Amino acid sequence: MNNKLKVVTLVVFFALLTWGVFLLAGYNQQAPNNDGDFTVAVSIFPLQDIVKNIAGESSQVVQVLPTGVSPHTYEPTIQDKSMLENADIVFYIGGGLDNWMIEGASEEARLVDLSKYVNIEEDHDQEDDDANHEHEEDPHYWLSMSIMEELSKIIADELGVANPQNIEVYEQNSVSYIEELKASREDLAAQLESLVNKKIITFHGGFDYFADDFGLEVAATIEEFPGKEPSPAYLSEVASVIEQNNLNAIFKEPQLSDSIITPLAQDYGIEVYTLDPLGGVEDRLTYIELMEYNVRTIITANTTQ
């Protein structure tokens, strides 16, 4: 009898232990953020920094696009895609820029295409000889600080839907961050007001939203298509813009090859500066620092003869 009692006791003990482990696992799945497991995946660095400011320390924010790589030429690796597998919510730019975010996300993840909340402009550089060709969308809206101020509220709302127990944190953080963005934007706009020549030539059509925010004009772009070498005829048109507007600088980007820009600058005796649409490197380690860097670069280029 004693042996039988011991066996029954052990069976009951292990049954209760197994049941307890099962319940604990289920609890952890329903409330992952208690252990800091609530994961947010984003495509590019500017979005990573903005989301991190709103999500706070209780969430893990992972960036899929490697720093220094252009989303226009990027092909995700298996390791990159693995970062999306456990994401509870996925934020991406949309507009055809980062569709690889959708392909790698799990079926359970909440997918947020931020371009749906933006009045997307047409990319007027994306055209060919076909008169019936439709302009493609310009997805570089993150370079507009005013747009990102508006999207910060959307991001907070979406985070709250995915993780409702932290909704107050997201709302409070978004209010503070929006105020910070607005103050920075107004300061940068004031710095650019005194520029004599507000026309710039960028490497590809990625800075139109930025220009709209700060009263600048993109007079031309070096590349018709990101990552594709421009034709001699197109470069001739760019050269005409340089001469007609008395420009003394053109801008390259660190994520794209600049092999075509150096000869052009040498031919016309103008300087080459770097505008960065993505950041994530030294002195551009936050979204605001990135925007400050670009404004500072334009001012330097405009005042250096």
pLDDT in tens, 86-95: 999 999 999 9
How many percent of the chain have pLDDT more than 90? 66
Residue 17 belongs to a domain? no
For 272-293, write each residue's pLDDT tens digit: 999 999 999 999 999 999 999 9
- Does 211 have pLDDT greater than 90? yes
User: Does 270 lie in the same domain as 224?
Assistant: yes
**HEC sequence for the chain:** CHHHHHHHHHHHHHHHHHHHHHHHHHHHHHCHHHHCCCEEEECCHHHHHHHHHHHCCCCEEEECCCCCCCCCCCCCCHHHHHHHHCCCEEEECCCCCCCHHHHHCCCCCEEEEHHHHCCCEEECCCCCCCCCCCCEEECCHHHCHHHHHHHHHHHHHHHHHHCHHHHHHHHHHHHHHHHHHHHHHHHHHHHHCCCCCCEEEECCCCCHHHHHHHCCEEEEECCCECCECCCHHHHHHHHHHHHHCCCCEEEECCCCCCCCHHHHHHHHCCEEEECCCCCCCCCCCCHHHHHHHHHHHHHHHHHCC
User: Does 193 lie in the same domain as 172?
Assistant: no
CB 245: neighbour CB atoms within 10 A? Answer: 15
- Does 35 have pLDDT greater than 90? no
User: Does 292 lie in the same domain as 257?
Assistant: yes
Most confident of 66-70, 83-87, 109-113, 254-258: 109-113
Instruction: Output the pLDDT for position 58.
Output: 83
- Does 163 have pLDDT greater than 70? yes
- Does 256 have pLDDT greater than 90? no
Residue 272 belongs to a domain? yes
Residue 12 belongs to a domain? no
User: Does 193 lie in the same domain as 296?
Assistant: yes
Phi, psi of 275 (to 5 degrees): -100, 135
User: Does 178 lie in the same domain as 53?
Assistant: yes
CB of 39 closer than 8 Å to CB of 60: yes
Containing domain of residue 267, as a range? 189-303
User: Does 180 lie in the same domain as 193?
Assistant: no
User: Does 288 lie in the same domain as 245?
Assistant: yes
User: Does 175 lie in the same domain as 47?
Assistant: yes
User: Does 292 lie in the same domain as 266?
Assistant: yes
User: Does 255 lie in the same domain as 198?
Assistant: yes
Torsion, Cα of 223, 227, 228, 229 (10° steps):
60
Residue 230 belongs to a domain? yes
Assign 81 a pLDDT band (cuts: 50, 70, 90).
confident
Angle between helices 261-268 and 232-244 (to 10 degrees): 40
User: Does 250 lie in the same domain as 146?
Assistant: no
Residue 26 belongs to a domain? no
The owner of tokens 């080459």 is 272
- Number of domains the chain contains: 2
Among 24-38, 60-74, 193-207, 227-241, whose mean pLDDT is lowest?
24-38
Residue 20 belongs to a domain? no
For 112-149, write each residue's pLDDT tens digit: 999 999 998 876 544 444 333 344 789 999 999 999 99
Q: Which two tokens stand for residue 280?
A: 């994530």
Identify the CATH number of the domain in which residue 219 sits: 3.40.50.1980
Instruction: Output the pLDDT for position 122.
Output: 72
Instruction: Output the pLDDT for position 305.
Output: 55
Residue 9 belongs to a domain? no
User: Does 206 lie in the same domain as 170?
Assistant: no
Residue 21 belongs to a domain? no
